[in-house]
Amino acid sequence: MSSNLSHLTTEQINMNTLEIDTLDSLSIIRLMNEEDAKVAAAVEKALPQIAKAIDLTVAQLKRNGRLIYVGAGTSGRLGVLDASECPPTFGTPPDLVTFTIAGGEHAFLKAVEGAEDHPSLGKEDLVKIDLKPEDIVVAISASGRTPYCIGALQYANDVGAATVSISCNQSAEMSSYAQVAIEVEVGPEVLVGSTRLKAGTAQKMILNMISTASMIRLGKTYQNLMVDMQATNIKLQDRAIRMVVKATGVSSAEAEAVLKTCNFHVKTAIVVIKTGTTVKKAQELLSESEGFVRKAIMNHQQKIR
């Protein structure tokens, strides 16, 4: 694995920001905003590969596998963040979308700089969580050559798991170890080599797409509502009521009353109201429809015709 990073786009000097240290606050952030505006266009070019990664993720999750993010530094922390948001947003089990980060979990708060330099540690961390062929490993690295990530991908390939790489350089070293290689070149950073900036933004956008689109494909939404959300506090219970109102057209009072009979399970409440069935029957319809609300309602309508 090459240690010469000078050829990487993420390590190049940004000619637009050479005088940034002479500017006032507004001028600095104008420059940053101009550079950030380039990120979405760069991600757009990689949409076909991102879609392939999503299809692969859905296939593995349907095999009862896990989505496992692997990374170091900022990239690893972004993986931790995306994984941690899935249970409250989509009602997933805590280990369905999970992560390994170079240096261990405490590296989320405090950098463990040398940990990313050892491919063996990437393998060891996947061994610790018992990687299986049904899983999918998504390795995240702005440079695309992080040894920790490459070691993880090599081991995942040996196990027979699905593999995806996300990098911010073209022809990234990491890409050759992944079944699906996502390369998003966002150009030189505002501060040379500070990949927590544009590269980090691009990676966050891609992770949002992978997790969100995968969960939509798995029936975790109805229309554009997060109907598998866990209503674990007052704010989320209020959101659950508003979702049921939007999905069914009933009053807030009726939505709340039905939700209480369903233990605030939004999917069940929507099916109860839309089909006029009992809670038990709504649960059966959802089970038969693999959790898809729209399909559960349509199946009930077909049965009563």
pLDDT tens profile 13-43? 898 899 999 999 999 999 999 999 999 999 9
Coil vs helix vs strand at 81: helix
Secondary structure of the chain: what % helix, strand, coil (to 5)? 60, 10, 35
99 with 170, same domain: the answer is yes
Sequence-ordered strand ranges (E) for 64-143: 67-71, 97-101, 136-140
**Mean of pLDDT values over 287-299:** 95
The CATH number of the domain holding residue 291 is: 1.10.8.1080
Active site residue: 35, 44, 85, 134, which one? 85
In this prediction, residue 107 carries a pLDDT of: 61
pLDDT band of 304, cuts 50, 70, 90? confident
Asked whether 184 and 156 are in contact (CB, 8 A), the reply is no
Q: Is the pLDDT of residue 1 over 60?
A: no
177 with 267, same domain: the answer is no
123 with 78, same domain: the answer is yes
Report the distance separating Cα 53 and Cα 200, nearest Å. 19
> Which of 168, 191, 217 is the last residue before a domain boundary?
217
- The yes-or-no answer on residue 85 being catalytic is yes
pLDDT band of 106, cuts 50, 70, 90? low
Q: Is the pLDDT of residue 189 over 70?
A: yes
In this prediction, residue 6 carries a pLDDT of: 63
Residues above pLDDT 90, as percent of the chain: 83
- The yes-or-no answer on residue 254 being catalytic is no
Asked whether 102 and 34 are in contact (CB, 8 A), the reply is no
In this prediction, residue 245 carries a pLDDT of: 98
Which residue from 76, 39, 75, 41 is spatially nearest to 202, judged by alpha carbons?
Answer: 39
Residue 52's domain comprises 9-217
pLDDT band of 113, cuts 50, 70, 90? low
114: DSSP letter: G
83 with 17, same domain: the answer is yes
155 with 285, same domain: the answer is no
In this prediction, residue 114 carries a pLDDT of: 63
166 with 55, same domain: the answer is yes
90 with 175, same domain: the answer is yes
Asked whether 67 and 214 are in contact (CB, 8 A), the reply is yes
244 with 284, same domain: the answer is yes
pLDDT tens profile 114-152? 667 788 999 999 999 999 999 999 999 999 999 999 999
Q: Check residues 7 and 100 and name the one with the higher pLDDT.
A: 100
**Mean of pLDDT values over 98-110:** 78
Q: Is the pLDDT of residue 101 over 60?
A: yes
Does residue 223 form part of some domain? no
160 with 282, same domain: the answer is no
Which residues are within 8 A (CB) of 288 and not within 5 positions of it... i.e. 6 or more apart? 296, 299
157 with 29, same domain: the answer is yes
Q: Count the domains in the chain.
A: 2
pLDDT band of 303, cuts 50, 70, 90? confident
Amino acid at 235: K
Point out the least confidently predicted range of 100-109, 159-168, 211-220, 240-249: 100-109
Q: Is the pLDDT of residue 226 over 90?
A: yes
Active site residue: 44, 105, 113, 116, which one? 116
Asked whether 86 and 215 are in contact (CB, 8 A), the reply is yes
Q: Check residues 230 and 283 and name the one with the higher pLDDT.
A: 283
In this prediction, residue 118 carries a pLDDT of: 85
Q: What's the alpha-carbon Rg for the chain, to the nearest Å?
A: 22
Asked whether 183 and 175 are in contact (CB, 8 A), the reply is yes
Point out the least confidently predicted range of 48-62, 103-117, 147-161, 265-279: 103-117
189 with 257, same domain: the answer is no
> Which of 186, 217, 248 is the last residue before a domain boundary?
217
pLDDT band of 2, cuts 50, 70, 90? very low
138 with 70, same domain: the answer is yes
